[in-house]
A and B are shown apart, each in its own frame.
Chain A
């Protein structure tokens, strides 16, 4: 780590903190980009994920065994009614 004025671990943490704090405070175009990122993440995780993209298996089944049995049922469904053995 070669942050300027680095001498002790505590001072180093403080330097890193002020580095990020001043960086975020000094943003101009960056603020616009962060706004876009936050809106995008909100739309993705709060709107789309919650209301439109539930995980089908997690929503309908509790355990891995149930999920496995369901998928097994799906991929063998055609076979089960025409078993030749």
Chain B
């Protein structure tokens, strides 16, 4: 039996989470700020007003700083795959190869090519070509995100592949199924629009700072109008795509939905219940999941299944089964998973002995249960439950902030159009901290997505504990703290350079 060092698994997990969370500070700002720069420049080209050119150059400079500091931070995730997650990276290599290669090509040709024109091209190329380049950078950045999210969507809902027992790899048999995986599609639109929202909050934050300080007032007001319109549209779209994303989770990852809703006992006409979780609550016991709660009748059934009277399974139904609702329990899936692993071992042995008849028989048996393979690595049914409190609270933070942002943008837009923004002394400090709130919402979203799918690296097929390399925890601990140091330095550099540029203001000109 292979000894799995759980502390190594946890350190590898923590390191991946740390890297991804740092990376995700830079990325959403790139996704959204690139479009905001394109909007500012489009207004400049259309109106010919030099103030819009100064505004464009100012935000483009901050975009450039963020891009420069953030570029390649995601590559570290790929290093981690090869070192800490070697089983996983081998098993999914055939699936992830194509999307990540396409991402690299897009990133290089669309971003890198036009990026230079965007920053070096003022006065050297025509206005139209410069604007075209700015739009290409925005579109290219966002198209790059498609492929990463296709890969992530596949982990949440593995489709378009077959497991090859000879190579121990999932091999893609339908590129279109992988790309148009409904989880990947909803994840892309939700994630990219949340980046637009975050960048709009970033513009709002800095503009409010100028208004509070009484500096660059015209630039700040004009920036707020554009950011509020874009932010209002984006935040409304985020709410819409978030609903679609939750529907996909309900259909493809019901355990994640149950965890983020704190739902233990499934119900028809299920209400949404929210409040403070009872941390002593365990699957299968009779305790109330909440200490304090509010309840909205029918809403969870409606959100999860688009039907008021539908049944939404809870954690207990999914773990222990529910015959009435035809839900298979985890214990039964564990048995099938163990059978699949045994058949895989028999197949391997038969191939070694060059006994093709025995190998074919083992393979046919393996195929019967292969969809449950991941469950065969679980020791108890309860192991299939994610740590409920983390995704539950992260989800509720995200939703609360996500509901607040459209209101915030609408209020800013109202006063900006009315021309009395500077008189709203109560509003500006809220705008000032809105960027931080946006960052919290962004990070919470990823916590929901990734902690909510535990214990799986690939949903139902490979648990995290089987995805790692058999290394000692010390190796991962050392690199964890190295990354912590490196990323903190990078973040400090970004903040320092940005603050300096913000303090200079639009007269600093373009990034040179």
Contact = CB atoms under 8 A, between A and B. Distances in A.
Contacts of A69: 168
B72 A40 contact: yes
Nearest to B340: A79
Contact of A43 (B68, B124, B165, B486): B486
B87 interface: yes
Interface in A22-58: 22-24, 26-30, 32-34, 36-37, 40-41, 43-44, 48-49, 52-58
B90 A28 contact: no
Nearest to B79: A53
Interface string B474-512: 000011001000100010010001000100000010011
Nearest to A26: B512
A24 B490 CA distance: 23
Contacts of B508: 29
Contact of B348 (A30, A54, A76): A76
Given A44-B76, A52-B479, A20 B61 contact: no
Contacts of A74: 2, 87, 466, 470
A75 B486 contact: no
A23 B119 contact: yes
A83 B366 CA distance: 13
B486 A20 contact: no
Q: A-side binding surface: helix, strand, loop or mixed? A: helix
Interface residues on B, range: 35 or more
Contacts of A32: 497
A79 B83 contact: no
Interface string B355-375: 000000010010000000000
A75 B168 contact: yes
Contacts of B91: 71, 75
Given A48-B76, A53-B479, A75-B168, A2 B83 contact: no
Contacts of B377: 78
A75 B346 contact: no
A27 B61 CA distance: 12
Nearest to B483: A48
B267 interface: no
B464 interface: no
Contact of A77 (B2, B71, B86): B2
Given A2-B125, A76-B345, A33 B65 contact: yes
A72 B345 CA distance: 8
A84 B362 CA distance: 12
B124 A19 contact: yes
Nearest to A2: B129
B126 interface: yes
A24 B119 CA distance: 10
Contacts of B382: none
Nearest to B86: A56
B116 A23 contact: yes
A79 B479 contact: no
Nearest to A15: B124
Nearest to A52: B479
Interface in B58-113: 61, 64-65, 68-69, 71-72, 75-76, 79-80, 82-83, 86-87, 89-91
27 contacts: A1-B129, A2-B126, A2-B129, A4-B125, A19-B121, A20-B116, A29-B65, A33-B64, A33-B65, A33-B497, A40-B490, A44-B72, A44-B76, A52-B479, A53-B82, A54-B83, A58-B82, A71-B168, A74-B87, A76-B341, A77-B2, A78-B376, A78-B377, A79-B376, A80-B349, A83-B342, A85-B365
